[in-house]
């Protein structure tokens, strides 16, 4: 089965399920992601920058970027899955939405901010996902930043049959002509976070996270085009 077909079947099931029964856990992840993205983008002008979100899902991340000051008409979202693209259209009527495989898309613009959030892990075919990453770099404007958020492990382990870790070494090699900064191991392992949330001790999460030893291999990678 090809990777896009596998993904289609997987998300068709997944989108029917509530993804967490522990209410505070998704909230906690969201606050943390917002905090890190703010930090990454603090020196970027938001009001006239062009943003490209590849594998936009249902647009939650784009809503966050709009709350940071990005302007809908400057935002392009690419999403392969039809159902998810439809949700995007309903939620975000003012942005440009392209329903297609990014590898088939030709864009006219370059972008000041490109985001690829939790997308590469969900493409388990190595050839395809690194090709997607390389292609995304070609749309980065001079001075632009590309932000990758994913689960990294150089052994490219299968986390489940639908998710495969990304190799940081490979990303560094493919982006060797760019400046690369990493925010490593930014999240505590979800089993600890969920456990703490269940017993009402979620306030301990930031403390445990700062120790890093309980953290998972989720990294934010910031790639800047200095050319």
Ligand X SMILES: C[S@@+](CC[C@H](N)C(=O)[O-])C[C@H]1O[C@@H](n2cnc3c(N)ncnc32)[C@H](O)[C@@H]1O
Q: Select the span of 72-80, 88-96, 183-191, 193-201 touching ligand X (CB under 6 A).
A: 72-80
**CA–CA dist 100, 65 (Å, integer):** 22
Nearer to ligand X, 60 or 126 (CB): 60
Under the binding rule (CB under 6 A), the answer on residue 132 touching ligand X is yes
Residue at token pair 């301990």:
204
Nearer to ligand X, 85 or 197 (CB): 85
- Give min distance, CB of 52 to ligand X, in A: 11
Judged by CB under 6 A, the chain residues 96 through 125 that form the site for ligand X are 101-103, 117-119, 122-123
Judged by CB under 6 A, the chain residues 73 through 92 that form the site for ligand X are 78-81, 84
Q: How deeply is 15 buried, as exposed, middle or buried, from its count of CB atoms within 10 A (0-12, 13-18, 19+)? A: middle
Strand order of the β-sheet with 111-117 is 96-99, 75-79, 51-54, 111-117, 140-151, 218-224, 179-183
Nearer to ligand X, 196 or 220 (CB): 220
Nearer to ligand X, 79 or 112 (CB): 79
Indicate which single residue of 57, 175, 178, 222 sits in contact with ligand X (rule: CB under 6 A): 57
Nearer to ligand X, 19 or 177 (CB): 19
Under the binding rule (CB under 6 A), the answer on residue 165 touching ligand X is no
Under the binding rule (CB under 6 A), the answer on residue 95 touching ligand X is no
Count the site residues for ligand X by CB under 6 A.
20
Q: Which two tokens stand for residue 126?
A: 């190595």
Residues 6+ apart with CB under 8 A from 10: 162
- For the chain, where are the E strands, in sequence order? 51-54, 75-79, 96-99, 111-117, 140-151, 158-160, 163-164, 179-183, 218-224
């Amino acid at each position: 089965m090809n990777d896009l077909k596998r993904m289609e079947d997987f998300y068709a099931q997944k989108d029917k399920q509530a993804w967490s029964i522990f209410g505070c856990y998704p909230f906690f992840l969201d606050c943390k992601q917002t905090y890190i993205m703010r930090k990454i983008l603090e020196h970027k002008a938001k009001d006239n920058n062009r943003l490209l979100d590849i594998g936009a899902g249902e647009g939650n991340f784009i809503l966050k970027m709009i709350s940071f000051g990005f302007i809908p008409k400057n935002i392009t979202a690419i999403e392969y899955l039809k159902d998810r693209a439809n949700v995007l259209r309903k939620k975000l009527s003012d942005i440009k939405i392209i329903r297609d495989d990014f590898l088939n898309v030709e864009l006219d613009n370059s972008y000041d901010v490109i985001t690829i959030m939790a997308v590469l892990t969900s493409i388990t075919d190595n050839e395809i996902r690194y090709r997607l990453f390389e292609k995304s770099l070609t749309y980065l404007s001079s001075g632009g930043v590309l932000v990758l958020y994913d689960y990294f492990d150089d052994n490219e382990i299968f986390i489940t049959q639908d998710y495969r870790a990304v190799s940081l070494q490979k990303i560094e090699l493919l982006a060797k002509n760019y400046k690369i900064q990493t925010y490593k191991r930014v999240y505590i392992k979800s089993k600890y976070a969920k456990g703490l949330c269940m017993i009402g001790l979620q306030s301990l999460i930031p403390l445990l996270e700062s120790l890093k030893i309980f953290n998972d291999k989720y990294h934010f990678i910031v790639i800047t085009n200095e050319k």
